[in-house]
Structure 1
């Protein structure tokens, strides 16, 4: 029996639409992500557990886990039955890479119990493919950090899909999910088909400056460059009072604030734990819509997917 954990992630990281992704872990040691427990079996079995298991489809063949197993078996041209327990600890449609967590943990667990027929690149390609079928287009900004850990730059080069770039170990990442869902597919549909040259140039400048600041460890420059011109102006309409909330969070001392992935989770960055706690409390009191919503103060998770238990 094998148990695999895959961490939550912040897609886009503000400035890098579909290009940047960061794996995160709460500073209190909680596991913010999904777990897969797997063993060989006579028939395929799937048991759903966890806080958000009630959000999963009742039809097994509509479950991401089954889709991962089915695709894997086709690739290796063997139908090997397994028994899987999915612990769904992330809400779907949250903007924290919920589907990516399930995909990464499942495919790593299946690969391991089948004696690793796929290498890491083949696994990541398959993760992106499954993610693309769910969201409407292949993108690696959640699956790559959840799989590899750290802050990932998505290259999609013929030889290299993603590479780790330096992150700021002094940064606290505060993430707040309000307790409501927002479909990734619908959040992608709201984006325009074309952008002006001015927007493209500005976005390229901010992204290049952020990457440069990351490698030269210029924290203030990196934070100032986390400006989002591709998705935030449009997706903010799906998040009530987003700009007002962003202004309040920055008044509290956040050095950056943005939408995590497609939303509705938002993130803030602080270099001071006292300020991070103030932001966390403000978000709990002002951003959460119900008791299922949550706020976590996090570090970057440098490990990515891993065996636990």
Structure 2
């Protein structure tokens, strides 16, 4: 659990981080990284590294096997620790707060970022840790195009690819499309501004027609840039007095995708169905599709 990582994070020193990094690198090619490879990366003797490996295992940051050889792999918690270490070193964050969101494929935490040059007040940000593949890597590989046909991809590496993909698309969409601003990205985690407002499904709207139109307008702006969200719903749309923000983009597709129209239709259908169900708003799917596509 991420809260356990935060508790043990201060117990880690640079040598612990180097060991976790060595295992991380080795897992790109091996399910279980041989202890000899970890020794080679860290330049530590077996006696020295053995003590630290036991410590990290006790902290539940890695696991090990002795069959058919002594090998190690890091848990997501170990990967979390590496990402947090990098964000702290870069001064991207200075403190971590509460868990504010948990989904099938991500965990989101509050954090604090110190102002640049020490001028001004600290600002709130969020850290999103991707969790693709934790429960069913086979399903993730089937459903996520960015995995491709790689024969060996560890679960944490799948999460790393998803985070990079989301960081890349946010950078391409912002600021023309209303998405949270990307602040930093490392491994399977991204740091962003806090989304404005509250989630659509938790909010009672006084003018639902205006917000429906605004959501479709944002989808149109994304489409004009060549992208389709491909997972739109009331659960990844924030609403506030001035507009909307759309989150959770790692499964986006480009217009050249063979199922682009089908995915766009599903996105729009999901939103129209929500507004019809909650507010009894009627909107024509074909007209909405044509509007988003600029036709």
Alignment TM-score > 0.5, same fold: no
Task: Tell me: higher relative CO, structure 1 or 2? Use CA pairs within 8 A at least 6 residues apart.
Answer: 1
- Return the index of the structure with the highest Cα Rg: 2
> Which structure has greater helix proportion?
2
Q: TM-score, normalised by structure 1?
A: 0.25
TM-score by length of 2: 0.26
